[in-house]
Amino acid sequence: MEGEDKEIGQELTPTDIYYIAKAAYELGIKKFKITGGEPLVRTDIVDIVGKLSSLKPLDLAITTNGYYLPDYISDLVKAGLKRINVSLPALNHEVYKAITGVDGLDRVLDGIERAKNAGLHPIKLNFVYLRNINESELWNVLSYARKNKLILQVIELEPVGIPRELFAKLYRDTKSFEKEISRKAVKVIRRRHMHNRPQYFLPDGSIIEIVRSNCNPTFCKHCTRLRLTADGHLKTCLLRDRPLINVLSILRSKDFTSGERGIIERIKNAIKEINSLREPYYK
């Protein structure tokens, strides 16, 4: 489930999300991730996780900036959350505040510790590499990940929601960093079901995953994800605004003669249709 960076007229309720997830589950989609924006700003997030968990998915994850993690993590785990990805762009307080706009690093680190104590595994840290801003923080975050037995994902900035000029200023590729860690790695695997991402295993126990998604044909070639926006549209690509299929209109339809089963079948047809329209971003 994908968040939005703008005001929306209507957003999906937990029951709406359950119906869509149930339709997807019946079509063979057994892994769900709630992303954003920031999903923990929703006061009904525990209810959403509980409803998704009732489907018995193979995976149920949340990607979060971590600020509200200390408030919710215990209830989320009880509701059935299996794992989390937490954004951690720096361990220096000033750098963290410059990137995020809030002095929230201590809360985030507290949330990560609580997630570990609650038994979530694996926990991944998302480090978006930014030119001249947090480049010097990368090795510090890697050391923190190693000490806490976390997986570090080093992510290239995506051209989403920011002006082209700002993207060009901030974008920093991961090639030199990857070259350095590849020399140290004792094992390398490629997660072909995850856009062919390389994952490096270092002698000190560090696990580092590289996410190169900007204009990357390999990324698109191996993508099987389907995205659901907060206002009830299905789409196949984070970086493309089209095509879209509105499933909220199915859920808000006044024709309930076919009951819950009829609604789910119509949503299944919408999922099949949007998947048939899938095409690569780089095209």
> Are 191 and 199 contacting, i.e. CB atoms less than 8 angstroms apart?
yes
Give the structural domain span for 182.
14-276
pLDDT band at 188 (very low <50, low <70, confident <90, very high): very high
Q: Identify whether 201 is part of a domain.
A: yes
Residue 282 above 80 pLDDT? no
Q: What are phi and psi of 219, to 5 degrees?
A: -55, -50
Q: Counting beta carbons within 10 angstroms of the beta carbon of residue 250, is it exposed (0 to 12), middle (13 to 18) or buried (19 or more)?
A: buried
Map tokens 């339709």 to a residue. 23
Tell me the pLDDT tens digit for each residue of 226-246: 999 999 999 998 777 788 999
- Percentage of the chain exceeding pLDDT 70: 90
Quick check: is 144 in a domain?
Answer: yes
pTM metric for this prediction:
0.89
Of the candidates 76, 68, 21, 12, which has an alpha carbon nearest to the alpha carbon of residue 49? Answer: 76
Domain-located, residue 183: yes
Residue 108 neighbours by CB under 8 Å, 6+ apart? 65, 66, 67, 69, 86, 88
28: left (phi > 0), else alpha (psi -120 to 50), else beta?
A: left
Average pLDDT of the chain? 90
Has residue 62 been placed in a domain?
yes
pLDDT for residue 161: 77
What average pLDDT score do residues 97-124 get?
96
Query: Could you give the CA distance from residue 73 to residue 126 in angstroms, rounded to a whole number?
Result: 18
Q: Is residue 8 part of a domain?
A: no
Q: Which residues is 156 bridged to in the sheet?
A: 129
User: What is the C-alpha to C-alpha distance for residues 230 and 198, in angstroms, rounded to an integer?
Assistant: 30
Whether residue 6 lies inside any domain: the answer is no
Q: What are phi and psi of 246, to 5 degrees?
A: -85, 115
The better pLDDT of the pair 40, 221 is held by: 40
At 193 the pLDDT is 60
Cα 97 to Cα 168: distance, rounded to the nearest angstrom: 22
**Residue 180 above 70 pLDDT?**
yes
> CA geometry: angle at 88 spanning 204 and 196, to 5°?
65
What is the structure's pLDDT at 179?
Answer: 94
pLDDT at residue 72 tops 80 = yes
**Is 87 a domain residue?**
yes
CATH number of residue 20's parent domain: 3.20.20.70
Sole residue written with tokens 């919408």: 270
In this predicted structure, what is the pLDDT of residue 260?
Answer: 83
User: Do 190 and 199 meet the contact criterion of CB atoms below 8 Å apart?
Assistant: yes
Quote the number of domains for the chain: 1
> What is the share, in percent, of the chain residues with pLDDT greater than 90?
73
Average pLDDT score over residue span 111-129 = 96
pLDDT of residue 189: 92
At residue 214 the predicted structure's pLDDT band, cuts being 50, 70 and 90, is low
Confidence check: pLDDT of 76 > 80: yes
The confidence score (pLDDT) of residue 243 equals 86
Q: Is residue 38 part of a domain?
A: yes
pLDDT single digits (tens) 79-95: 999 999 999 999 999 99
